[in-house]
Amino acid sequence: MSTVFVAGATGTLGRLVIGGLQRRGARVRALVRPGNTEGRRALGQDVEVVEGDIRDPADRLARALEGSDVIVSAVQGGADVIIDGQANLLSAAERAGVPRLIPSDFSLAIDRLDHGDNDFADLRRKAAESFAGSPVATTSVLCGAFLEVLNQPFYNWVDWRSGTFSYWGDGDQPIDFSTMTDTAEWTAEAALDPAAAGRTVRVAGDVLTLKELHQAMERGSGRRLQARRLGGVGELKAEIDRLQAGGADPFAWLLLQYTWAMVSGKGKLDPLDNHRYPGVRPTGAKEFFRQAMSPSA
């Protein structure tokens, strides 16, 4: 039985990963910050809880990692977590003799982006640079865009109240979409797959153009959405530059950076590795929106 150490265990994705690991018979050890009694309770009694933080001294963290076969990092945050914290986690893994680490990437093709294309991707690319040369083999899991996130009002793609779907670009660029649940299942598979060591796992629940996504939203939800084209790819890039230069709330242009990576095609995953894990049968966009917009949801 494999023992998997999960950092970021109390977050949405972390909890889903733990569920996927347990269904596959893995023993799970979860890192939980001291005092997070609610998070500890949500993990259940079958999870071994270790109190701590990935920024704890590496020697202390190494003791918590001893006996683990692989680490899954599902942490979120700024540079202090994604770069410094994960580098510290890697150092602790080296001391404890843990052979494998899945870092917290879970995004579009960040390995194809250039510096400055996406600030959050830059953090993960910088973290990957610190992993180079380590005896700990890393496995990056890339899944495209989370459908759960795109369905939120703050993302400004779909407004169910006004009945509009707003998009940039020509609407014909294929884009990768996945649910968090399916991403967690693929991550559990990769964590327990020795052949995934040292490679990138690229997976997607659906590959659709934005015009096709619009249709999937309507067919799944049973609601009509008026499509509104906001501008081309070049105009989107100009809008990002304008917001950055004008000192706007970073959240505004960070979201647009993700959109640009998708509609420009630069963030497209290729090739996809879905066939490596046939046991995961992902939820397509139409089915996701059917479930998300059902009266009982």
pLDDT of 297 above 90: no
Instruction: Kindly report, residue by residue over 194-239, the tens digit of the pLDDT.
Output: 999 999 999 999 999 999 999 999 999 999 999 999 999 999 999 9
42 strand-pairing partners: none
- Dihedrals phi, psi of 145, to nearest 5 degrees: -95, 140
Length of the chain: 297
**Taking Cα atoms as reference points, which of 262, 289, 268 lies closest to residue 171?**
262
How far is it, in rounded angstroms, from Cα 136 to Cα 141?
Answer: 16
**Taking Cα atoms as reference points, which of 225, 227, 223, 217 lies closest to residue 286?**
217
How far is it, in rounded angstroms, from Cα 203 to Cα 108?
Answer: 10
DSSP state, residue 265 = S
Residue 29 and residue 47 in contact, taking contact as beta carbons nearer than 8 Å:
yes
pLDDT of 274 above 90: yes
Determine how β-strand 206-208 pairs with β-strand 164-168. Answer: unpaired
pTM above threshold 0.95 = yes
Instruction: Kindly report, residue by residue over 93-152, the tens digit of the pLDDT.
Output: 999 999 999 999 999 999 999 999 999 999 999 999 999 999 999 999 999 999 999 999
Instruction: Kindly report, residue by residue over 244-254, the tens digit of the pLDDT.
Output: 999 889 988 99
